[in-house]
Copies of this chain bind each other. A is one copy, B any other.
Amino acid sequence: MNNWMKNVRKVDPYVPGEQPKSLNVVKLNTNENPYPPSSAVKEVLKHASDDALRRYPDMDCTKLVQALSEFYSVKPEQIFVGVGSDDVLAMAFMTFFNSDKPILFPDVSYAFYEVWAEMLRIPYKKQALDENFRLIQSDYFQENGGIVFPNPNAPTSILEPLSFVEEIVAGNPDSVVIVDEAYIDFGGQSALSLVDRYDNVLVVQTFSKSRSLAGMRIGFCIGSPALIQAINSVKNSYNSYTMNHTALEAGAASVRDKAYFDETRNKIMETRKEAVERLAKLGFHGPEPMGNFLFVTHDRVPAEEIFRALREANIFVRYFKKPRIDNYLRITVGTPEQMEKLYAFLEEYLKER
């Protein structure tokens, strides 16, 4: 071994969902939006100017922040944008979770929380969900160095009501509480209404799901000006210019097209509703889905077997071989056409089992 290798940081990297390069696939495994982004996005990409490309982008991300400020009726100084919500969350962990006390998050949740805590040497305690995969609120009223949870949770798709979130925020005035709302636009009630009343809540959202822009890497968080100023300072100590020109333009154009945003998420909610019924008829059940995905188990056939059979048929869903959830599938809500292919395959497959 080379001696310099001794000083290399050791990590256990997160493994994201498979991204097949073939297009001949029904891709329901990474919670992408099956619909294209607003047509305004392609329009702005067509008009990127030479000057904008050759110059450093606006480090204040003014155009995108302004659009978000208008959309969500908050002040620009309450908004921080980053390279996807992963960037926003990692920066928030770095900025706010510097206590010696453990941070708290659910045991079944977004896998990156643990990766970041390990990476940044933040002490943490995973709080077990109950037998119905619900967060146990009382678990979040103990001494802690910060709290983070997704709402709706992933991979369960379960939404907790706003009152549940508010009680945790109100009960932990000495901690920053991060509510990861990647999937909130599919029927949930956002904690954004809390940011003017509580200075310790940070609401994180993304353009990757409801705005069909996973390919552009845009996330943001909204909180009190004090929180946003702190995270901006830390971010500027790493890299002042993370949001490239096209992301800023595409993001702003997308936010300004509210009609299309509503149309798309409504379509997904309708397809989701039908999916619950159709899958139930095939013997699947799971919690009421409130994200753009379902979390289901079959009453007879093991999830891992179904996962493999689907994969062979070029239908990709997500399977986590992890304690408690290893008999569940996470299925992204696709277009009605994609879902029909899923139902048709499952119907045939389950008949033979």
Contact = CB atoms under 8 A, between A and B. Distances in A.
Interface residues of A, number: 85
Given A7-B99, A244-B217, A237 B116 contact: yes
A215 B2 contact: no
22 contacts: A2-B200, A2-B226, A4-B176, A5-B230, A8-B95, A13-B236, A27-B55, A36-B50, A45-B45, A45-B48, A53-B212, A53-B213, A53-B250, A54-B212, A54-B215, A84-B241, A115-B237, A116-B238, A118-B237, A215-B244, A216-B246, A246-B246
A244 B226 contact: no
B9 A213 contact: no
A166 interface: no
Interface stretch (A86-94, A155-163, A189-197, A318-326): A86-94
Nearest to A245: B215
A74 interface: no
Given A2-B173, A53-B213, A55-B215, 9 more contacts: A3-B174, A4-B200, A19-B55, A42-B50, A45-B246, A53-B212, A54-B215, A119-B234, A244-B244
A222 interface: no
A239 B90 contact: yes
A316 interface: no
A117 to B, nearest CB: 11
